[in-house]
Chains A and B, each alone.
Chain A
Amino acid sequence: MKGPRIKLFPVYFIILLILTSSGCGDKKDSATRLKFWAMGTEAEFVTKLVPEFQRRNPGIKVDVQQIPWNAAQEKLVTAFASDNTPDICQLGNTWIAQFASLNAIISLDKYIADSPSINKENYFTGVWDTNIIDSLVYGIPWYIDTRLMFYRTDVFKEAGYDEPPRSWEELYDLCKKIKALHRGEDKYAIYLPTNEWNPFIMFALENNASLLKENNSRGNFDSKEFKEAFRYLTNFHKEKLAPLGISQVTNVYQAFVEEYFSIYISGPWNINEFKKWMTDDLAGKWSTAPMPSKNGDHYPGVSLAGGSSLVIFNNCKHIQEAWKFIEFLSETSTQLEFYHLLYNLPAVKKAWEDTSLANNKYMKAFRLQFENVVATPKVPEWEQIAFAKVQQYAELVVRGAMTVDEAAKNLDKDVDKILEKRRWLLSRKK
Chain B
Amino acid sequence: MKKSKNSFSYSSKAAYLFLAPAVTSILIFFFIPVMASFVMSFTDFDIYALGSIDMVRFIGFSNYVQLFGDPLFWQSLQNTMYYVVLASPLSIAVALGAAILLNSKLIKYKGFFRLSYFIPYITTLVAVAIVWRFIYHPKFGILNYFLSLIGINPIDWLGDPATAMPAIVLMSVWKTFGYNMIIFLAGLQNIPEDLYEAASLEGANEWQKFKAITIPMLSPTTLFVSIITIVGFFQLFAEPYIMTQGGPLNKTLSIVGYMYQEGFRWWNMGYSASISFVLFFIIMIITVLQFKLQKSHLA
Contact = CB atoms under 8 A, between A and B. Distances in A.
Interface of B: 17, 44, 46-48, 50-52, 55, 57, 66, 133-134, 136-139, 156-161, 244-245, 247-250, 261, 264-267
A387 B247 CA distance: 13
B156 A247 contact: yes
A250 B156 CA distance: 12
Interface of A: 6, 74, 77, 80-81, 98, 101-104, 195, 244-248, 250, 380-381, 383-384, 387-388, 392, 395-396, 399, 401, 417, 421, 424-425
**For the complex, would chain B's binding face be called helix, strand, loop or mixed by DSSP majority?**
loop
B66 to A, nearest CB: 8
Given A77-B50, A98-B47, A424-B57, 10 more contacts: A77-B267, A80-B50, A103-B52, A246-B247, A247-B244, A248-B138, A248-B156, A250-B134, A384-B266, A392-B250
B48 A425 contact: yes
A421 B137 contact: no
B245 A245 contact: no
A74 B269 CA distance: 13
A303 B14 CA distance: 70
A375 B162 CA distance: 38
Contacts of A248: 138-139, 156, 159
A195 B244 CA distance: 11
Chain A contact residues: over half helix, strand or loop, or mixed?
A: helix
B223 to A, nearest CB: 39
Highest count of chain B CB atoms <10 Å: which of A103, A195, A392, A399 = A392
B138 A103 contact: no
9 contacts: A98-B47, A245-B159, A246-B159, A247-B156, A395-B247, A395-B248, A399-B161, A421-B46, A425-B55
Nearest to B134: A250
Contacts of B267: 77
A6 B267 CA distance: 43
A247 B51 contact: no
Nearest to A77: B50
B245 A103 contact: no
A410 B239 CA distance: 29
Contacts of B46: 421
A387 B245 CA distance: 12
A248 B141 CA distance: 11
Nearest to A2: B14
A388 B266 contact: yes
B159 A396 contact: no
A136 to B, nearest CB: 16
B249 A380 contact: no
B117 to A, nearest CB: 29
Given A6-B17, A250-B137, A388-B261, A383 B266 contact: yes
A334 to B, nearest CB: 33
A395 B158 CA distance: 15
A384 B17 CA distance: 48
Q: Which 7 A-B pairs have the closest CB atoms?
A: A247-B159, A245-B159, A102-B51, A384-B266, A247-B158, A81-B50, A103-B51
A318 B129 CA distance: 46
A245 B158 CA distance: 9
A148 to B, nearest CB: 25
B47 A102 contact: yes
Contacts of A81: 50
Nearest to B136: A247
Contacts of B52: 103
A81 B47 CA distance: 10
B32 to A, nearest CB: 17
Nearest to B54: A428
Contact of B44 (A380, A388, A399, A421): A421
Given A245-B159, A247-B138, A388-B261, A195 B47 contact: no
B87 to A, nearest CB: 21
A380 B139 contact: no
B271 to A, nearest CB: 10
Contacts of B17: 6
Contacts of A77: 47, 50, 267
Contacts of A250: 133-134, 137
Nearest to A9: B21
Contacts of A103: 51-52
B7 to A, nearest CB: 15
Contacts of A383: 266
Contacts of B66: 417
A387 B261 CA distance: 11
Contacts of B261: 388
A246 B133 CA distance: 13
B290 to A, nearest CB: 35
